[in-house]
Chains A and B, each alone.
Chain A
Amino acid sequence: MKRYTSIIILLLFAMLAALAAGSLAYGQNLRENEHYKKAIELQKKAEAANARGDYDKAYEYSEEAKKQTQMAADLFAELVLKFRANSLLQQAGNRLNSLKTLGVNDDDQPALDQAADDYGVARSSFNDREYDQSIEYSNRVLAALMDMEAKTYETAATQPEPAAEPAGEKPLPKYYRVRLIPDRRDCFWRIAEYDFIYGDPFKWRLLYDANKEKLTDPGNPDLIHPGQLFEIPEIKGEAREGEWEPEM
């Protein structure tokens, strides 16, 4: 049991480091998108010109607003794709490293080597801004690792359990209280992304499903409030207890 727990903790800490370095860099905010801001400003000018009867100017401003909006949308789409590519790349890298550290069966070594090669392609594609390709290769890595991880954990689970839990190891939290963070608003996506939760923002729906009845509008996962206490369901049998407390 101790080894099993150690593996999970190792994986989670690895994810934390990677996500902290990667995903936070892509906290895109549409309101900070220069093209978006320009488009809004131009639209205001267009409406003012239209109101005073300067229709040619109004047309010009709104035409420019359309161009700026398109540029904002292109940039936004690229950032979203980059964010996803980076998130997957980090996950793939962390899990690959963890598995390398833990070691795999000899039979799986070629598959692990192939995953490492694919990871290299994913990383270079990301650097070349070929985000679609990067996502494709990161997914290949994650799919390949899934089988190997299952075998590794299975092996770990069949190992004789140690007599007692070592003192000083902090269990994962069972509850998370929504915080008021001005720069990085808490939402299910971001909560799921925390290493002590799942380290994977794509698992946000697990959190939402388990806590939707606590929401003001259960049908709207976007509407959560600071102070709300959410339960964190176990996903791999990991031990969880207590409420998470931020380190001071």
Chain B
Amino acid sequence: MKKFLIFGLLLIGLIFVVSCATAPKKEPVPAKGEVVPPPESEYGQAKELRSRIEKWGLDRYAAEEFGAAEGRFNEGESAYNKDNAKAKTAFKDAIKGYQAVIDKGFPAYLDEKIAGVESLKKSAEEIKAPVALKNDYNGAKAVYEDALNNKKKEKYEEASDLLDRAHTQFQSVYDVTLAKKYRAEKNIDEANEGINELESAAEQEQIE
């Protein structure tokens, strides 16, 4: 009987040890009265993403997601230094939300820019800029292709800067080509007028 009692106690002890060793890890729950530090890192990261979105105006491409993230961000700020645990969770949600806005908004933003550059490129090609201003045109085209590659690699800021450069360069190519075209056509017309006048004069003299 005594043996059974000892064995039973050992078994209960073993079960207790095993159950404690395999229990799921939980966030450390601060003990009542313990001070939780403010979630500075989460707050900083959320602010950084938020300002990036504002800088590029990406919120208009994902208004719903942005609104939700903003809500969580505000909640985080409200709880900051009051209920830091709650603030931390709120900021983490805000970070996820902001990142989603960026992932959706940046490609859409770049697509708009690409459409503008593409249109300008086409206009330049229509007035034969690749012939009239070959080097400048090829330069603009190389920058444009570089921008597209950067977009593919999700280097959005770099892609955006390159698209701006490509736009400026194609605009210049278009303007200069158009000026050259007008100048040439005007001169051709003047030369034709001169020839026609000479032919008329010859006819009038009846000695042609």
Contact = CB atoms under 8 A, between A and B. Distances in A.
Given A56-B180, A62-B184, A63-B187, A40 B206 contact: no
A59 B194 contact: no
A contact face: mostly helix, strand, loop, or mixed: helix
Given A43-B188, A65-B191, A55 B202 contact: no
Given A52-B128, A54-B132, A59 B184 contact: yes
A104 interface: no
A222 B203 contact: yes
A52 B132 CA distance: 9
A28 interface: yes
Interface string B128-154: 111110000000000000000000000
Contacts of B201: 73, 76
B199 A55 contact: no
B127 interface: yes
Given A27-B207, A39-B191, A53 B185 contact: no
Contact of B198 (A58, A63, A76, A187): A76
Interface in B154-208: 177, 180-181, 183-185, 187-188, 190-192, 194-195, 197-199, 201-203, 205-208
9 contacts: A39-B194, A42-B191, A55-B183, A62-B187, A62-B188, A62-B190, A65-B195, A73-B201, A76-B202
Given A50-B184, A55-B177, 13 more contacts: A31-B208, A39-B194, A39-B195, A42-B191, A49-B184, A50-B185, A56-B184, A58-B185, A62-B187, A63-B187, A63-B191, A69-B194, A80-B205
B191 A46 contact: yes
Interface string A2-37: 000000000000000000000000111111000010
A189 interface: yes
A8 to B, nearest CB: 26
B187 A59 contact: yes
B198 A73 contact: yes
A36 B187 contact: no
B198 A66 contact: no
A109 interface: no
Contacts of A40: 195
Contacts of A65: 191, 194-195
A30 B202 CA distance: 7
A83 interface: yes
Nearest to B177: A55
A70 interface: yes
Nearest to B182: A55
Given A30-B198, A59-B180, A53 B127 contact: yes
A69 B184 contact: no
A47 B181 contact: no
B198 A47 contact: no
Nearest to A47: B188
Nearest to B208: A30
Contacts of A28: 207-208
A56 B187 CA distance: 11
Contacts of A189: 206-207
Interface in A134-177: none
Nearest to A49: B184
B198 to A, nearest CB: 5
A125 B184 CA distance: 44
B208 A55 contact: no
Contacts of A43: 188, 191-192, 195
Nearest to B206: A189
A72 interface: yes
Given A53-B130, A55-B177, A46 B188 contact: yes
A52 B202 CA distance: 33
A188 B206 CA distance: 9
A55 B132 contact: yes
